[in-house]
């Protein structure tokens, strides 16, 4: 009897967010002819399918964890083994340990633009990211498949690594979920942002835009997320008397889109922001920073929503004021965006994921 193919999926720090949601959708799309071992450095929620095994690797760093992963992977008796890993800081070690040392099949997936490596919190982080970027340039020719979650990211990574990079969108769109009542001008605006409270998401540009707004008292802000910047965000809101609610660690987020008049994404960089796609599928007009990558693909280069320069809180404030006085252009753009969501369809992209895997067994 032919043994099943086994897929090892390494996601060191599982959490609530677009990346983890995408990984789970990819996993659940696979039939039971595959055995799956989900590896992480901390406990995650249990999977509901019998062919999925959760393994927590006891280690305090991604790099050190690979010495244990190497042993787990090497000892496994399946004839066909595929290793799937996500994000630069994981993928460089996957290439060294799995592809170069063990010479096994490797599929790596990128979910943030290379611009991620241009932001750092200190000298140590600066050196670390310089090394990772150098390793990407040297090592990315070796994996069997490299995919990225937006066309822009695929193009820029392909140019940097000089190898073929496939586009595999986040499987994030199913259907249009609700027909919303359009916002009427000069009413209170319910603005929504759903993202981790981390530097990447740059909540302070949104908060500064609201703080200088001529209609500050008309804006009700809802922030949904978690992360290290929670206390700073809370303090800024309190000190500047912004009308805002902070919702922590909420998994069921559809209810927030239903109440939102406007969705604002203020990130410094992304791969493909899932929440912007979700906002569009809930018929919410969108204002988004023009980061690399994914914003232009979702918003059709500004035809499907308004874009502002990264960190430009003054222009963002003007866009919010424009929505307050004349929301009609925003809803016209929202309709364009909504009509072009099939690229991010769950079935379409999970099927593409399975076709990539089929090349490896």
Tokens of 43: 């406990």
Residues 6 or more apart whose CB falls under 8 angstroms from that of 288 comprise 264, 265, 273, 276, 295, 298, 299, 305, 306, 307, 308
> What residue segments make up the domains of the chain, in order of their start?
5-171+345-358, 189-342
Question: What's the CA dihedral at 178, 150, 93, 121 to 10 degrees?
Answer: -80
Tell me the C-alpha to C-alpha distance, in Å, between residue 278 and each of 41, 64, 91, 93, 331. 29, 36, 28, 32, 16
Tell me the average pLDDT across 15-25.
89
The confidence band for 147, taking pLDDT boundaries of 50, 70 and 90, is: very high
Tell me the average pLDDT across 284-311.
97
The confidence band for 181, taking pLDDT boundaries of 50, 70 and 90, is: confident
Tell me the C-alpha to C-alpha distance, in Å, between residue 257 and each of 191, 223, 284. 10, 12, 7
State residue 345 phi and psi, 5-degree precision. Answer: -60, 140
Q: Among 259, 271, 260, which Cα is nearest to 330's?
A: 260
The confidence band for 1, taking pLDDT boundaries of 50, 70 and 90, is: very low
Total number of residues shown for the chain? 361
Helix ranges (H only) for the chain are: 18-28, 62-75, 88-94, 123-139, 151-161, 203-211, 230-239, 254-259, 274-281, 295-298, 313-325, 328-338, 346-358
* Of 4-13, 89-98, 133-142, 155-164, the least confident: 4-13
Q: Hey, CA dihedral for 119, 121, 127, 133, is it positive or negative?
A: negative
Report the 10 Å Cβ neighbour count for 191.
22
Cα–Cα distance, 121 to 266 (Å, whole number):
19
β-sheet bridge partners, residue 286: 263
At 67 the pLDDT is 94
Superfamily of domain 5-171+345-358: Glycogen Phosphorylase B; (3.40.50.2000)
How do residues 37-87 score in pLDDT, each as one tens digit? 999 998 887 777 778 999 999 999 999 999 999 999 988 988 899 999 999
What's the whole-number average pLDDT of the chain? 94
State residue 161 phi and psi, 5-degree precision. Answer: -95, -15
β-sheet bridge partners, residue 99: none
At 74 the pLDDT is 87
* Of 93-102, 175-184, 242-251, the least confident: 175-184
At 3 the pLDDT is 62
The confidence band for 251, taking pLDDT boundaries of 50, 70 and 90, is: confident
β-sheet bridge partners, residue 244: 221
User: Which carries the bigger pLDDT value, residue 74 or residue 247?
Assistant: 247
How much is the pTM?
0.93
Tokens of 229: 């910047």
Q: Does domain 189-342 have CATH number 3.40.50.2000?
A: yes
Q: Hey, CA dihedral for 187, 192, 198, 202, is it positive or negative?
A: negative
Buried b (16+ CB within 10 A) or exposed e, 86-120: bbbbbbbbbbbbbbeeeebbbbbbbbbbbbbbeee
How does DSSP assign 323-341, residue by residue? HHH--HHHHHHHHHHHTT-
Contacts 24+ apart (CB under 8 A), 69-72: 69/8, 69/10, 69/39, 69/97, 70/97, 70/98, 70/101, 70/102, 72/8, 72/37, 72/39
Cα–Cα distance, 290 to 310 (Å, whole number):
6
Residues 6 or more apart whose CB falls under 8 angstroms from that of 128 comprise 120
At 112 the pLDDT is 96
């Amino acid at each position: 009897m032919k043994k099943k193919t086994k897929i090892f999926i390494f996601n060191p720090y599982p959490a609530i967010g677009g990346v983890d949601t995408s990984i789970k959708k990819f996993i659940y799309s696979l039939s039971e002819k595959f055995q799956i071992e989900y590896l992480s450095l901390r406990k995650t929620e249990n999977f509901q399918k019998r062919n999925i095994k959760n393994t927590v690797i006891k280690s305090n760093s991604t790099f050190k964890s690979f010495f244990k992963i190497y042993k787990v992977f090497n000892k496994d008796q399946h004839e066909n083994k595929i290793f799937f890993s996500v994000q630069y800081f994981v993928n460089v070690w996957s290439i060294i340990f799995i592809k170069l040392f063990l010479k096994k099949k490797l599929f790596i997936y990128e979910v943030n633009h290379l611009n991620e490596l241009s932001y750092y919190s200190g000298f140590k982080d600066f050196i670390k990211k310089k090394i990772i970027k150098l390793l990407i340039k040297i090592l990315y020719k070796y994996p069997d498949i490299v995919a990225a979650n937006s066309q822009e990211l695929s193009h820029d990574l392909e140019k940097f690594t000089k190898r073929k990079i496939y586009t595999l969108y986040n499987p994030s769109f199913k259907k249009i979920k609700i027909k919303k009542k359009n916002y009427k001008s000069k009413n209170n605006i319910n603005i929504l942002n759903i993202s981790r409270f981390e530097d990447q998401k740059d909540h302070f540009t949104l908060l500064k835009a609201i703080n200088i707004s001529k209609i500050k008292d008309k804006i009700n802000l809802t922030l949904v997320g978690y992360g290290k910047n929670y206390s700073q965000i809370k303090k800024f809101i309190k000190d500047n008397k912004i009308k805002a609610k902070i919702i922590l660690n909420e998994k069921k987020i559809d209810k927030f889109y239903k109440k939102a008049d406007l969705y604002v994404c203020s990130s410094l960089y992304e791969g493909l922001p899932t929440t912007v796609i979700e906002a569009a599928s809930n018929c919410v007009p969108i204002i988004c920073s023009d980061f690399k990558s994914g914003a232009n693909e979702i918003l059709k280069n500004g035809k499907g929503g308004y874009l502002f320069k990264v960190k430009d809180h003054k222009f963002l404030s003007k866009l919010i004021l424009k929505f307050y006085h004349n929301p009609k252009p925003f809803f016209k753009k929202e309709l364009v965006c909504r009509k072009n969501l099939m690229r991010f369809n769950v079935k379409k992209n999970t099927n593409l994921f399975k076709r990539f895997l089929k090349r490896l067994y």
